[in-house]
Chains A and B, each alone.
Chain A
Amino acid sequence: MNEAADDLLFDLNLTDEQRMNRETMQRFAAAEIRDLSLRVDAGETTARDFFPATAELGLTLLQIPEALGGAGMTRSPVSNALILEDLAHGDLALALGATSPLGFVNTLLDQGSDAQREKYLPRFCDGAFTAATTALLEPRATFEPSAPNTTATPNGDGYSLNGCKSMVPLGMDAELLLVIALLDDGKPAAFVIEGSPQGMTRTAEENMGLKGAQLATLTLENVQLPNEALLGDSDFNLQRFIDLSRLGACALAVGTGQAVLDYVIPYCNERVAFGEPVTHRQSVAFLIADIAIELEGMRLMTWRAASRAERGLPFHEEAYLAKIFCAEHAMKIGTDGVQLLGGHGFTREHPVEMWYRNLRAIDTLEGVASI
């Protein structure tokens, strides 16, 4: 009995807490995100008022230690993945923006020093939304996340940063930014940047999609940072940061893929052609079946890697495979979502074309949404 009890079993049941939290997230996504996402995407409004409203979800509060004003729960990559999935069911772009502070907080909890946690984390506990983000991507073809070109050169008073970061969520408004760079010895490092120090320019981006995430490009020209800005007491584990971020991107893809599936099912069941619903045709029905099959694969691969991370097991390979699987199939789901609606799918009357544009980013996104 004891032997069996100690043996951790394969299990897909959520904890009660996760179940309740999912309900909250799903309700919020349905009520506050879905409709807004279309208007933000169309440029009719901005998400500027939306992000403060997400404070009620307490996204960043839960895992911050009580001593720093948080709820003192253990950081759970699985619970975080579920949050991202459920918010992305509302909208990928807004979910990415809303959870960017969470990615910043998670990375500080994971790799920051005590002093840095004490300094920054209480700001995420006062019930208001604190815009924070992480910046790894750089604007060049063949960019490899483990080898950024941004440099951090030590000088007398600290470090001087030079380089360019792209697709930084909340990049215009973030008051705290975690920027990844390489040191002179080629080792990666992360730096906490507060506000807009001299030499840093923020430029709002216009992209194929993700309009609501407020993506920005940061240019860093001799940005002088104090020694304390260097994250952590020891070497920054960039690969771990990349892997935890990849799982965030995967979870966002799963949520958006589920949104596509949930949209095409009633639409295609109601759409009549040649005298009957189009779902009476295998060519249509099988596309939908395959969306569901691949989506479940995406979800299980994401959960597996996240649960390994949670248990302290190696998860690099699992995260890598989850990311390439999710990137590939999320795009296929986005494409098929449009296809299933035919010409209507190509118009902006329906969200599927937006999901198509947003899902193209899953492959590209790196270093954001760390769980």
Chain B
Amino acid sequence: MINLEISQRHEETFTQVMMLAEHMMRPYSRKYDKAEHTYPAEMEEVNKLISAGRTSATGKPKGSLPEGSVVNGGNMGSVIGLFGLCWGDVGLFLGMPGSGLGNAAITAVGTPEQIKKYGGRYAAMCITEPSTGSDSANISTTAVLDGDDWVLNGEKIYVTDGDRCDTLVVWATLDKSLGKAAIKSFIVEKGTPGCEVTRLEHKMGIRASDTAAISFSDCRIPKENILGSADIATDAEGRKKAFGGVMQTFDNTRPPVAAMAVGVARAALDMARDLLREEGIEVCFDKKPTNSGAIEAELAQLEAEWQAGRLLVLKAAWMADNKMPNSKEASMCKAKAARVGNHITLRCVALCQSLGYSEQHLLEKFARDSKIIDIFEGTQQIQQLIVARRLLEKSSSELK
């Protein structure tokens, strides 16, 4: 039965997360925006509370649900939690010790042994290389099997949490001449000889999050640390499937990243509405936009765009929870939420004029933080490409 309100249980989660965000993250937003690359020690406590909440939420017995029952589970819980945490601070969330994008990959495609061993670690994701951004099938980092070890060589950049994490999930090719099908991902423990953090980026926003460059030179890891099979598919179907498996991770990670945009945009809207209220401007949702003042009309329009982004994220997460293929919807929500998230934060700065632009408030920071969300985990244009290919039934060689 159609119902687009989140469940009572998730509503409670959200309320708790918002408390954390307001009292334990927001007070440090400016501090770590200024002190780039400084370890946000205060976030350890936040992370503990979140992890505890997550454990109790998933600790419920599941077996009793009848076949075909609707599930509002981990995927929805995750995006709803992120709405709140990224309302608090998207940079602090990304830099929060404990859990990174690599964790999602391990959970999605890891063997039970791998999940047992690495599920609780702090895992970052190493995909991008200096000359390979969105074109992730074109990576050059190599993995060669030598006895019982894989030997990794190459350079990775833009590794979120790359400095603070204890584990890396690294994309590497077994044989570049074989294209996508030869790309596999590997679990590398930090501290493994040959694996070195070489640089931290200075960024426009999300400065609380460390973004590292990591090099691998003859870095040896155990044979069993490959995620998925080591076989390289030879036929077209198999090749497609193999890389599809790697890309499938994104179906799980795109809605959460989109949720970050929803969170930061909400933060900007709340703050802008507070500042405008002090000037007697309130958006009341009464008159039609064409009959109201420009600021009221724009606020209402921003609220509407925000709602659309939020609902698209919830839908994609709901599909994942209910085991429906959601590749198209994951990209749709990422495209929409990220672009409106950026638009909203920028417009909120403009609507509040010099107060918006001033570091006295956080609006300018939200507008800097939000831009990256329309870039990482697949740019706006990559999402449009994925959605278009699905709609038009085009292959990547037809619709490039």
Contacts and interface: CB of A to CB of B under 8 A. Distances in A.
A15 interface: yes
B392 A320 contact: no
A9 B72 contact: yes
A301 B311 contact: yes
A280 B4 contact: no
A297 B312 CA distance: 6
Given A145-B288, A307-B3, A279 B308 contact: no
Given A10-B72, A288-B392, A290-B384, A307 B2 contact: yes
Contacts, number: 161
B103 to A, nearest CB: 24
Interface in B362-400: 381, 384-385, 387-389, 391-394, 398-400
Contacts of A68: none
A67 interface: no
Contacts of A1: 61, 64
A316 interface: yes
Main SS of chain B's interface residues?
A: helix
B362 to A, nearest CB: 25
Interface stretch (B6-14, B163-171, B271-279): B6-14
Nearest to A327: B289
Interface string A298-314: 10110110111001010
B1 to A, nearest CB: 6
A289 B311 contact: no
A249 B137 CA distance: 45
A151 B381 CA distance: 53
A289 B301 contact: no
Nearest to A285: B388
A353 interface: no
Contact of B303 (A142, A279, A321, A363): A321
Interface string A259-297: 001000100110000001101101001101110111011
Contacts of A12: 2, 4, 315, 318
Contact of B4 (A145, A289, A303): A303
B398 A293 contact: no
Contacts of A185: none
B314 interface: yes
B394 A11 contact: no
A115 interface: no
Residue of B7, B9, B388 most packed against chain A (CB within 10 A):
B388
A78 interface: yes
A296 B315 contact: yes
A66 interface: no
B387 A11 contact: no
18 contacts: A8-B3, A11-B70, A13-B2, A78-B2, A268-B392, A289-B384, A289-B385, A293-B312, A297-B311, A297-B336, A300-B311, A304-B4, A306-B2, A311-B5, A321-B285, A321-B304, A321-B307, A325-B304
The 5 closest A-B pairs by CB, nearest first: A297-B308, A304-B4, A285-B388, A300-B311, A325-B304
Given A11-B3, A145-B288, A313-B5, 14 more contacts: A1-B64, A10-B314, A13-B2, A146-B287, A280-B399, A282-B385, A282-B400, A285-B399, A293-B312, A293-B387, A294-B308, A297-B309, A321-B304, A325-B307
